[in-house]
Amino acid sequence: MSKNLFITGTDTDVGKTYVTGLIVKKMISSGFDTTYFKAAASGNDRDQNGVLIPGDAALVQKLSGIKDDLSELIPYVYEVALSPHLASQIEGNPVDLKVVKEYYNKLAKKHPYITMEGSGGILCPINMNNQELWLEDIIKAFDMDCVIVANAGLGTINHTVLTIEYMRQKNMTVKGIILNHFHPGDKMEEDNANMIEHRAGVPILCCVQDGDTELKMDGELLASLYG
């Protein structure tokens, strides 16, 4: 069975997909056969034939060089840019955890490491149609440890620590934090990193600057986070 790691974020549009792409790229370049997976993604565009393209998977593929077909990586793809539970109410085809597991297991037979990205923040509703399913239910279904992607800027202490505390209350394990949109030498952002570590007791694994094409983190250490 593949080892896995779940990537969540403190909020929508924190740069979770971009950072996940860098994680997968670092794993591959460090010699660990890794792919990408996401249960559901909304806000996708159609190609010239009217087929929905899973944009998050396409970005990760572009960043990391993974060879899997995009159709294998995200089982539920929606056009409207809304939470998956609402997107599926509008477009139909609500997320079924059994189907998610089927897609995951196919990838697990091909790759020893799977990096799974969440939808939105940790409290994202995935299905409120025929069954109640939240992002945390997916994490627990695959027994995954987590890394949190957070913004380096103003407000991140509150957002990040509250996310960690909620996840602890729900018995989810947070292995570390990656700060995105980081500016070296910015006193506030450097202090934010120190305050998050101090208050939450969770390490800042690395910081990502805008335009980075490599994750500034040791590959062996990154691989050790997968369980």
In the chain, domain spans: 3-224
pTM to 2 decimal places:
0.97
pLDDT for the residue 130:
81
CA dist 175 and 148 (Å) reads 8
pLDDT for the residue 111:
98
Instruction: For 3-224, give the CATH class.
Output: alpha beta
- Among the listed residues 16, 38, 67, 216, the single catalytic one is 38
CA dist 211 and 132 (Å) reads 38
CA dist 181 and 127 (Å) reads 31
Q: How many helices (H) and strands (E) does the chain have?
A: 8, 12
pLDDT for the residue 69:
97
pLDDT tens-digit readout, 177-217: 999 999 999 999 999 999 999 999 999 999 999 999 999 99
Spans of the chain below 50 pLDDT: none
Known active-site residue 170: no
CA dist 96 and 82 (Å) reads 18
Give Rg (Cα) of the chain.
17
Chain centroid, CA 201 distance in Å = 21
CB 38 within 8 A of CB 178: no
pLDDT for the residue 179:
98
CB 206 within 8 A of CB 215: yes
pLDDT for the residue 12:
86
pLDDT for the residue 81:
96
